[in-house]
Amino acid sequence: MKFLLKVFAVSAVVALIPFSTVQAADTAVANVSYAKLVDDLNPTNKTKAELQRIWKEHQGNEVTWSAILVEAKEGKNYTKLYLVDKSRKSHDGVNILVEARNKDRAAALKKGQTVRFKGKLDKYNNKSSGSTIITVEKAEVL
């Protein structure tokens, strides 16, 4: 009988964990596409408050995307990749900036090559041209 009571007590503690907490942890790792994120951040049909709320939901989340290499510039700690996803408008031919930590792999990329990468969403910038530039930090070229 004591054994059953102990199991019941443990089960009761587990049952006290709110469902929304578990659900929030699961959705934090969801991988949104570049096109969907840019569409969600469209300033022509959203207030600044809406844009801030949407970005807070995504900032820091990990994404895995592919885009075409426009330019690469080596820095001290990472190589900055200037990429374009042609499904959406670009600003000066670029709409994704990636800070790639694996510099050797990034340095081997060729202009015009499709690059697959994984990293964390860092910031976004809506341009007057109608394009949105997304910066991905702590990235790895795959």
Q: Residue 28: is its pLDDT beyond 60? A: no
Q: Residue 31: is its pLDDT beyond 50? A: yes
Q: Which tops the pLDDT comparison, 26 or 43?
A: 43
Least confident residue range of 26-30, 115-119, 137-141: 26-30
Distance, first Cα to last Cα, the chain: 56
Q: Which tops the pLDDT comparison, 52 or 20?
A: 52
Tell me the pLDDT tens digit for each residue of 62-77. 999 999 999 999 999 9
pLDDT at 112: 97
Handedness of CA 65, 69, 70, 73 (dihedral sign): positive
pLDDT at 30: 58
Residue 64 CB burial class (10 angstroms; 0-12, 13-18, ≥19): middle
Alpha-carbon distance 46 to 49, whole Å?
A: 8
pLDDT at 129: 85
SS3 at position 32: coil
Least confident residue range of 3-12, 16-25, 68-77: 16-25
Q: Rounded mean pLDDT of the chain?
A: 83
Q: What is the CATH code for 32-141?
A: 2.40.50
> How much of the chain exceeds pLDDT 90, in percent?
74
Structural domain boundaries in the chain: 32-141
Q: Residue 111: is its pLDDT beyond 80? A: yes
Q: Residue 12: is its pLDDT beyond 60? A: no
Q: Residue 4: is its pLDDT beyond 60? A: no
SS3 at position 35: helix
